Amino acid sequence: MAAVKKLINDPQTVVAESLEGFGAAHPDVVAIHSDPWFVTRAGGATAGKVGLVSGGGSGHEPLHGGFVGVGMLDAAVPGAMFTSPTPDQIAPALQAADAGAGVLAIVKNYTGDVLNFEMAAEVADDVNVRTVVVNDDVAVEDSLYTAGRRGVAGTVAVEKIAGAAAERGDDLDAVAAVAEKVIANVRSMGVALTACTVPHAGKPSFDLPDDEIEIGIGIHGEPGRRRIPLAGADEITEMLLTPVADDLGLTGGEKVLLFVNGMGGTPASELYVVYRRARALLEERGVEVTRSLVGNYVTSLEMQGASVTVLRLDDELTALWDAPVHTTALRW
């Protein structure tokens, strides 16, 4: 097998060097902390505001550091590639985000992430920490990395909407309740056309023949529901959207956010082909798409593929989605 080409110096320093570059490029938005590594807002925590902290393995950029800023996260904790951050990284991030009103930890449902955030909250016992667990992936109930459903692209909606609630001055109970409301109403499913290569592994994370795709893939290359021959975009999109809409129990007259997310190696032109068909399928059900997001937001290194996320909206969630946000990856 040919060597994999990557713009890196040393697999062991990729995360640190990437964070250094990220901080140098966006000093108006973020501050980078080392030993241990975590990201905070450039201006620090806002006095009296509920803090929001998330994190997870690196390799999913812009998740989570790209969502640190006004209207979203106060801190993000990047682990090694596809590896949960450690409790001794997470604890100082929780403390940095605490401005007197407590901290909401938004954790994707991977066993390592859940356990390490729990341990960090015990270490940072001077901080009032509430935790919500995102589990939006309808593809599997249990996988290599989880008990129950995985947390994937729906995490962006949780961070954005809970962040807006915190920004408007909601207390910790209210921010947590809004986050749980999003989690209860968001579902996702993804597809991989190719595997990705973790730098220190030096070879693709799984073997996927050129004429096959994996439906229901996880963001770390975990196996999906099934492997099938390569099909057209409309057919693939239907395989993703239908289980999502069925799981949500969407009915005619409802309003939704439709989010088509790229896995890192798929061009925007193809993501819009997927969006076009997903929107049509929702409209055929009598569901109105009132908000949209298309792009690479929760990636899997250079994996070619996409995920479809649907969030059921009401007036409150729509207003919080529309609220101003200023991060490196999301701003309006």
Q: Which of 133, 150, 184 is the endpoint of a domain? A: 184
The verdict on 168 and 226 lying in the same domain is: no
The answer to whether residues 292 and 213 belong to one domain is yes
Q: Are residues 209 and 84 in the same domain?
A: no
Query: CB within 8 A of 24, min separation 6: which ones?
Result: none
The percent of residues in the chain predicted with pLDDT above 90, rounded, is 87
Same domain, yes or no, for 162 and 304?
no
Q: Give the pLDDT of residue 144.
A: 57
Whether 221 is covered by a domain: the verdict is yes
Structure tokens at 250: 């969407």
- Which residues are paired to 55 by β-bridges? 77
User: Can you give the residue range of the structural domain that contains 304?
Assistant: 186-322
Residue 4 lies in a domain: no
The CATH number given to whatever domain includes residue 282 is 3.30.1180.20
Q: What's the start-to-end Cα distance of the chain, in Å?
A: 44
Residues 216 and 171 in one domain: no
* Residue 295, in any domain of the structure: yes
Does 173 share its domain with 277?
no
Across 33-42, average pLDDT: 98
- The reply to whether 84 and 133 lie within a common domain is yes
Q: Among the three residues 131, 153, 184, which one is the final residue of a domain in this structure?
A: 184
pLDDT digits (tens, 9 = 90+) for 164-183: 999 999 999 999 999 999 99
HSE of 100, CA atoms in CB hemisphere, 13 A: 6
Q: Are residues 239 and 255 in the same domain?
A: yes
Strands of the sheet containing 30-33, edge to edge, are 30-33, 38-41, 75-81, 51-58, 103-108, 129-134
C-alpha angle 88/91/92, rounded to 5°? 95
Provide the domain count of the chain.
2
Active site residues: 60, 220
Which residue in the block uniquely carries the two structure tokens 């693709």?
204
The HSE-up count of residue 67 (CA atoms within 13 Å, CB side) is: 30
The full length of the chain comes to 332
Same domain? 191 vs 180 = no
pLDDT in tens, 225-265: 889 899 999 999 999 999 999 999 999 999 999 999 999 99
**55 within some domain:** yes
For residues 73 and 219, state if they share a domain.
no
Amino acid at 168: R
Which residues fall within 8 angstroms of residue 267, CB to CB, at 6 or more apart? none
Give domain status of residue 46, yes or no: yes
pLDDT (tens digit, 9 = 90+) per residue, 149-169? 999 999 999 999 999 999 999
Pairing of strands 288-295, 255-262: parallel
Q: Are strands 212-215 and 226-229 parallel, antiparallel or unpaired?
A: antiparallel
Q: Is 239 within a domain?
A: yes
Looking at the fold, whether 32 and 135 belong to one and the same domain comes out as yes
Q: Determine contact, residues 154/173, Cβ cutoff 8 Å.
A: no
* pLDDT band with cut points at 50, 70 and 90 for residue 145: low
**Preceding omega of 36 cis (within 30 degrees of 0):** yes
Residues 76 and 156 in one domain: yes
pLDDT of residue 1: 46
Rounded (5°) CA angle 214-210-142: 15
Q: How many CA atoms lie less than 13 Å away from 209 in the CB half-sphere?
A: 6
The domain that holds 78 is classified in CATH as 3.40.50.10440
Kindly state the DSSP code that residue 326 receives in the 8-state scheme.
B
Q: Does 1 reside within a domain?
A: no
Using the 3D structure, point to which of 168, 184, 200 is the last residue of a domain.
Answer: 184
**Is 327 among the domain residues?**
no
Whole-angstrom CA distances from 78 to 38, 47, 225 are: 6, 25, 28
